[in-house]
Amino acid sequence: MFDQPAENVRVVVSEPWELGERVFTGRIVRSQAEPDERLLVALNQPFVHAGVTYSSLLLSPRHEGHPLSLVEAGEAVPCNARALASASAVDRDGMEARDWRGGGLVLIGTLSSDR
């Protein structure tokens, strides 16, 4: 998955509604195919929400049958994203963010290549 780990990507956020439709760009710094597909993206421009500065996104597929790896073929893919204050908030073994559910800033969007 993702032969070029530093591939540039774009995430167009559609929810939460209070962010409006935002576009984030960044580079993939880590990818995981198993046991669950995940991408860790370092944002080109950190953003502030509710007083917290976020610099990374941990992405997962939004719908079954639409893997994030389709981005390599030029497709746009629905995704879930967990905004992280730093990449160090990601578990090194399983690419899981602490408090994935029930805490922090969770986003819904669309992932595409930013070539």
Q: What is each CA distance from 80 to 31, 57, 62, in whole angstroms?
A: 15, 9, 5
Burial label, 54 (beta-carbon count in 10 A; 0-12, 13-18, 19+): buried
Separation of alpha carbons 100 and 110, rounded Å: 18
Better pLDDT: 44 or 5: 44
Share of the chain above pLDDT 70, in %: 79
pLDDT at 14 (0 to 100)? 92
pLDDT at 95 (0 to 100)? 62
Other CB atoms closer than 10 Å to residue 71's CB: what's the count?
A: 24
Note whether 24 and 13 are within 8 A (CB): yes
- 35-81 pLDDT per residue, tens: 788 999 999 999 998 898 999 999 999 998 889 989 888 899 999 99
Beta pairing partners, 31? 39
Copy the structure tokens of residue 88: 């160090």
Other CB atoms closer than 10 Å to residue 39's CB: what's the count?
A: 28
Does the pLDDT of residue 102 top 50, yes or no? no
What contacts 49, CB < 8 A, 6 or more positions away?
19, 83, 105
Could you state, in order of their start, the residue ranges of all structural domains in the chain?
8-106
